[in-house]
């Protein structure tokens, strides 16, 4: 079987679930565009619906067709990406990594500080630090807000895609929310307005 390059992404449940999935998809799609064979998937065993739980997403990339189909975890990741630096403290994120692997961390902290949290750092050939939160203009919680309860209250960046025009369309037939307030609540404001404008209501 051909060499399969394994990537594991660590992120936080709920608050970074979507971002983590997007990261695994963008890496897989990027590799596929370059002619590679790819797999990208979420972890089944972690608890993505619990706020802040450490959560994994995976990629596999190969020059030949990937025959590993029924193994749902990457046992030997050569690249590990971490979306929240505090995860490193509580999890052996390098578990199974062959010597010479690479680690990428979203953090504002120094390399020494991050390395001090990793007892098995001798496995690494490189550590890459990026302030992804700062660049993305986020709060560290990315796509959702976190309001100090068991459930995250999603308020930031909701209604980016399909939800926006559908919310707009809903405003035409339901007076529980105004179009203005839906526009104010949605990330894709133009989408909400366009949905409201173009929705066809047929009274029966």
Partner 1 sequence: MSPLYAEKFRIPKHLEIADGAVVPSPVGEQPMMKTGNWRIERPVIDHEKCTTCLNCFIFCPDGCWHLDPKSEKMVWDAIYCKGCRICVEECPADALRLENELNFKGGVARLDKPY
Residues in touch with partner 1 (CB under 8 A)? 12-13, 45-47, 50-56, 84-87, 89-92, 95, 109, 113, 117, 119, 140, 146, 148-150
Work out how close the CB of 70 gets to partner 1 at its nearest, in angstroms, rounded to a whole number.
19
Taking the complex as a whole, the smallest distance from the CB of residue 149 to partner 1 amounts, in Å, to 7
Nearer to partner 1, 97 or 182 (CB): 97
Rg (CA), the chain: 20
Tokens of 171: 């405003």
Alpha carbon distance, N-terminus to C-terminus of the chain: 61
- Minimal distance in Å, beta carbon 68 to partner 1? 19
Q: How far is the CB of 38 from partner 1 (least distance, A)?
A: 25
Q: Is the Cβ of residue 56 or residue 193 nearer to partner 1 in the bound state?
A: 56
CB of 56 to partner 1, least distance (A): 8
CA distance 101 to 78: 5
Sign of CA dihedral 141, 10, 117, 124: negative
Neighbours of 41 (CB within 10 A): 17
Q: What's the burial of 14, exposed, middle or buried (CB within 10 Å: 0-12/13-18/19+)?
A: buried
Our CB check for partner 1 shows the closer of 5 and 10 to be: 10
| Residue placing its CB nearer to partner 1 in the complex, 51 or 159 | 51
Residue pair 54/10 in contact (Cβ under 8 Å)? The answer is: yes
Closest CB to partner 1 among residues 116, 125: 116
């Amino acid at each position: 079987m051909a060499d399969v390059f394994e990537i594991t992404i660590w992120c936080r449940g709920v608050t970074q679930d979507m971002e983590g999935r997007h990261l695994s998809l963008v890496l897989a799609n990027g590799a596929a565009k370059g002619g590679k064979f790819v797999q990208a998937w979420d972890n089944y065993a972690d608890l993505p619906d619990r706020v802040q739980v450490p959560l994994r997403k995976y990629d596999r990339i190969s020059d030949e067709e990937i025959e590993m189909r029924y193994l749902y975890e990457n046992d030997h990741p050569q690249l590990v990406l971490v979306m929240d630096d505090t995860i490193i403290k509580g999890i052996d994120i390098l578990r199974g990594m062959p010597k010479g692997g690479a680690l990428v961390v979203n953090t504002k902290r120094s390399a020494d500080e991050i390395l001090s949290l990793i007892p098995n750092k001798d496995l690494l050939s490189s550590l890459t630090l990026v302030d992804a939160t700062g660049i993305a203009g986020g709060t560290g919680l990315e796509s959702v807000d976190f309001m100090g309860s068991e459930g995250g209250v999603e308020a930031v960046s909701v209604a980016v895609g399909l939800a926006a025009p559908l919310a707009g369309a809903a405003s035409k037939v339901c007076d529980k929310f105004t179009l203005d307030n839906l526009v104010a609540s949605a990330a894709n404001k133009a989408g909400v307005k366009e949905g409201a404008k173009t929705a066809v209501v047929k009274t029966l």
